[in-house]
Amino acid sequence: MATIADVARRAGVAPSTVSYVLTNRRSISSTTRQAVERAIRELDYQPHAGARALRGARTRVLAVSVPEDGPYLPLRWRFVHDLSTAARAHDYDLLLLTGEETVADVRRVARSRLADGAILMSVLTADPRIPVVRELGFPVALLGRPDDPAGLPWCDFDFGGAAAEAVRDLAAAGHRRIGFVGSTDAEFRAGLSYAERGLAGARTGARSTGVKLAVIRSSPVRLTLARRVHRLLAAPEPPTAFVTVHDVPGLVGILREEGARVPTELPVAAVASTSGAEDERALTRWELPVAEMTRTVVDLAIAAIDEEPGPHGGLIRVQPTRGRNRST
């Protein structure tokens, strides 16, 4: 079965141009239109049911691709809740794609036009969903930054910038040995963009200040994380402060079990803080701007559907919030 990408290649145009011809949503030159229509006939391309029924019709549905894997289920559904709120402001509903076959699900929705467009969450540095939406000319916005976002709107929290700033903040307070608790082994193996950029940012902050950065990965298994933290603290020159982009309350609890007084004697800087727990509010933290991220990515997706200039996406930066007991 021919796809919109096949038609585009035969006609020598972009997939989006084929979409414009099919939906009459943009003025197309007669020469280009004829080339597209000829390619459609030659390939026996069958437009999706919605286009056949009514050109330019809208489902008023946004698909949200939410991979199931990962340790942050409560946070993930907080994002989904706020995405739904932001979508309703545009009179859109959400279609959640939560199965294990994320690529196949996105392809199915794009081909059938069950939704007008999609938001991709938990974006990988080399995300296999991206070639699919490019091939099919399906409007999307990315909640996360891949290595190659060219041509696709995206937004993300500046994990790297916040981690670098956290290290510099502690260095400015006189700390020369800093422990960095990064994302989990599974997140690094999967290639989740925030995991790699958070670590890269912390290393950038360490290089720029000359501090020694001791890196460990977090773990969803508390005992595993506790053993890794213990090895750091038992070293001849242990860290005098920590930066974490993972389970802040869990890390604080482990440090206190080791006899550390957090944050008065052993500061902890929290990047992408979310829990709002009492212990977390006492720390210097860079809070994850969930509401701003979800509003922005929905606006970007709607703009992609409407084929109009969207809002400025890119990296979202936040100022640190100082706790009652300043950690630096």
Q: What would the pLDDT profile of 179-190 be if each residue is shown by its tens digit?
A: 999 999 999 999
| Residue 288: alpha-carbon gap to chain centroid | 11
Summarised one tens digit per residue, pLDDT across range 275-306 is 666 777 789 999 999 999 999 999 999 999 98
Average pLDDT over residues 114-138: 94
Summarised one tens digit per residue, pLDDT across range 214-247 is 999 999 999 999 999 999 999 999 999 999 997 8
Q: What angle do CA 62, 153, 14 make, to 5 degrees?
A: 90
Measured torsion, CA atoms of residues 196, 240, 228, 75, in degrees rounded to the nearest 10: -50
CATH class of the domain at 4-53? mainly alpha
- Pairwise pLDDT comparison (327 vs 142), residue with the higher score: 142
Query: Which residue, among 179, 177, 169, 164, has the nearest Cα to 212 in the 3D structure?
Result: 177
CB 127 within 8 A of CB 156: no
Question: Please, what is the average pLDDT of the chain?
Answer: 89
Q: Out of 3-7, 103-107, 130-134, pick the least confident.
A: 3-7
Can you tell me the distance from the alpha carbon of 180 to that of 48, in angstroms, rounded to the nearest whole number?
50
pLDDT, position 309: 72
Summarised one tens digit per residue, pLDDT across range 22-41 is 766 566 788 888 898 899 88
The CATH number of the structural domain formed by 61-157+290-316 is: 3.40.50.2300
pLDDT, position 52: 47
Written as six digits, the tokens of 147 are: 């290595």
Non-local CB neighbours of 241 within 8 Å, separated by 6+ positions: 170, 173, 175, 177, 178, 179, 266, 267, 268, 269, 327, 328
Comma-separated ranges of CATH 1.10.260.40 domains in the chain: 4-53
pTM flag (> 0.85): no
Summarised one tens digit per residue, pLDDT across range 192-218 is 999 999 999 999 999 999 999 999 999
Comma-separated ranges of CATH 3.40.50.2300 domains in the chain: 61-157+290-316, 159-287
Can you tell me the distance from the alpha carbon of 228 to that of 225, in angstroms, rounded to the nearest whole number?
5
CATH fold label, 159-287 = Rossmann fold (3.40.50)
pLDDT, position 325: 46
Can you tell me the distance from the alpha carbon of 321 to that of 167, in angstroms, rounded to the nearest whole number?
15
pLDDT at 324 > cutoff 70? no
